[in-house]
Amino acid sequence: MGDLTKYSSYKSTEESWFLKIPEHWSIYRLKHVFGITKRIVGELGHDVLSITQTGIKVKDTESGAGQLSMDYSKYQQVDKGDFAMNHMDLLTGYVDISKFNGVISPDYRVFKMTYAECESQYLLYTLQLCYTNRIFFKYGKGVSMLGRWRLPAENFKNFLIPIPPKEEQTKIATFLNYKLAKIDRFIRKKRVLLNLNVERRKSFTSQIIKSDTVQLLRLSSVTKFEERQIERSDNETYTPIGLYNRGRGIFHKEQTFGKDLGDSTFYYIKEGDVILSGQFAWEGAVTLASSTDENCVASHRYPILGCDLDIIKPEFLYSYFTISEGFLLLDLHSRGAAGRNRPLNPRRLVKEKIPIPSIALQEELAKIYHNEERLKATVLNEIKIVEEYKTALIAEAVTGKIDVRDFEIPETLDEETYEDLEEELSLAAEDEAEYQTEEID
């Protein structure tokens, strides 16, 4: 962790996630630091808050973009500065300090800091670490396969955390605020690079559908629905997929036994398949399967289109659906009025005619697409490694493995300072990559 040193003396604990802490630190139960509050509001007219993995946000209750409750009468009051956590879901939940006054689900836990010798930002970093490193998980109860693994109130109250003196907590929080802001800037620059390449590919797609070579052809004449149904075996494992919205790609879910796949019909995926989300196509949930997706499975809720390669390239069809003209078709054929429930009608979609440029222009687009994908793989791996470094830095600081008391934040945050941090992150990424290679070998 750079020039930072360790403390001069440590003492042992019985806690698995901080086996040793600095000699002068203390250990507290959360019930001695926080007081749980449950103030039922009882009426509407308040901002409705939700907890995401990027923090507490105000829900958009007007547009219906989120899944909204039909009854807010049991919602809890949240004031600015209150802590709130999704204690019902230790797998994907989170905790944050609210920047808003509002109301929040009765299923969440709202609590205030009651111990004057604590610094709220230090406590927040500690609690967030307990989510990201799944420290809370072993204290939970429920059915993890269903995504319901909750932290009971008594387990929360008796959970132990390390507490340094207040002045030191402030030092740790200030150090992490500075370091993490710079790390986040590094990540933002990488994401901007990705977005620029996405926009380049979209711009080229918009150009070639206006070229003189374009034919206006019905989708059903150049594509077909691929339905490679699996012969499900109860004790065989399968890898289901899901789609991100806004054309951000595909993700693999955990391997699942055939007997646990549910009642859906599942189909094998092959490289070159264009996959749509039957529920969220109107949000741009579309992707192009790569070689890494081969033999994963998609439920019947994900229509799969195969292309007639003599006429239409899958890279073009995918990219067409990500620009405004293609997106409008997905939106047009997604009907519904219940919040986000707007299922796609794929049979109607394929009756539409779309502009298809020459194969030569499509092949140029395919090169741009595959360059974008290679860059994306590289950048996302860099971001993953830096995110791991970020989590490790928080863990080192809040458990006393590094001493930040003498750390001084530069008076001017100039470009040179940023470049120093970028070099540090690059070295961290190289170290992690070497470690991963050794593990694989």
Judge contact between 126 and 398, C-beta under 8 A.
Answer: yes
Number of domains in the chain: 3
Do 227 and 294 share a domain, yes or no? yes
pLDDT band, residue 342 (cuts 50/70/90): confident
Do residues 50 and 114 share a domain? Answer: yes
pLDDT value at residue 53: 86
Domain boundary among 356, 391, 424: 356
Domain boundary among 356, 382, 403: 356
The mean pLDDT value of the chain amounts to 88
Q: What average pLDDT does range 285-309 have in this prediction?
A: 96
Q: Which residues pair with 48 in a beta bridge?
A: 103
61-65, 223-227, 300-304: lowest mean pLDDT where? 61-65
pLDDT band at 381 (very low <50, low <70, confident <90, very high): very high
Strand partners, 55: 52
Which domain covers residue 174, as residue numbers? 1-12+165-198+368-441
Same domain, 148 and 172: no
132-144: average pLDDT? 85
**Domain final residue pick, 290, 325, 356:** 356
pLDDT on residue 3: 64
Q: What is the pLDDT of residue 74?
A: 87
Q: What confidence score (pLDDT) does residue 63 get?
A: 57
Residue 126 has pLDDT above 50, yes or no: yes
* pLDDT tens for each residue of 411-436: 765 554 445 555 555 554 444 333 33
Predicted TM-score of the model (pTM): 0.78
CA distance 338 to 349: 21
Residues 350, 220 share a domain: yes
Domain match, 36 and 145 both = yes
Cα end-to-end span (Å), the chain: 26
Sheet with 83-85, strands from edge to edge, namely: 34-37, 109-113, 83-85, 95-97
349-374 pLDDT, tens digit per residue, is 999 999 999 999 999 999 999 999 99
CATH of the domain at 32: 3.90.220.20
Shared-domain flag, residues 262 and 316: yes
Cβ atoms within 10 Å, residue 236: 13
Of all residues in the chain, what percent carry a pLDDT higher than 90? Answer: 76
Work out the average pLDDT over 27-44: 90
* Domain-embedded: residue 31: yes
CA–CA separation, 342 and 282 (whole Å) = 7
Q: What is the pLDDT of residue 132?
A: 93
Is the pLDDT confidence value at 2 over 60?
Answer: no
120-132 helix and 166-208 helix, angle to the nearest 10 degrees: 60
Looking at the predicted structure, is the pLDDT value of residue 339 above 70? Answer: no
* In a shared domain, residues 174 and 159: no
pLDDT band at 439 (very low <50, low <70, confident <90, very high): very low
pLDDT at 263: 87
Pair (191, 157) in one structural domain: no
Minimal CA–CA distance to 132: which of 163, 168, 94?
94
- The band of 147, judged by pLDDT with boundaries at 50, 70 and 90, is low
Same-domain status, 88 and 189: no
Let me know if 57 is exposed, middle or buried by CB neighbors in 10 A (0-12, 13-18, 19+): middle
Residue 204 lies in a domain: no
For the record, the structure tokens of 126 come out as 């500690």
Yes or no: say if 201 and 319 are a contact pair by the CB < 8 Å rule. Answer: yes
Cα–Cα dist 419/416, whole Å? 5
pLDDT digits (tens, 9 = 90+) for 211-239: 999 999 999 999 999 999 999 999 999 99
Tell whether 262 and 301 lie within a shared domain: yes
pLDDT higher than threshold 50 for residue 207: yes
Domain match, 376 and 342 both = no
Match 């989708």 to its residue by tokens. 219
Lowest mean pLDDT among 98-107, 161-170, 301-310, 315-324: 98-107
State CA 119 to chain mean position distance: 28
Confidence class of residue 62 from pLDDT cuts 50, 70 and 90? Answer: low
For residue 435, the model assigns a pLDDT of: 33
111-125: average pLDDT: 96
Secondary element (H or E) of residue 96:
strand 95-97
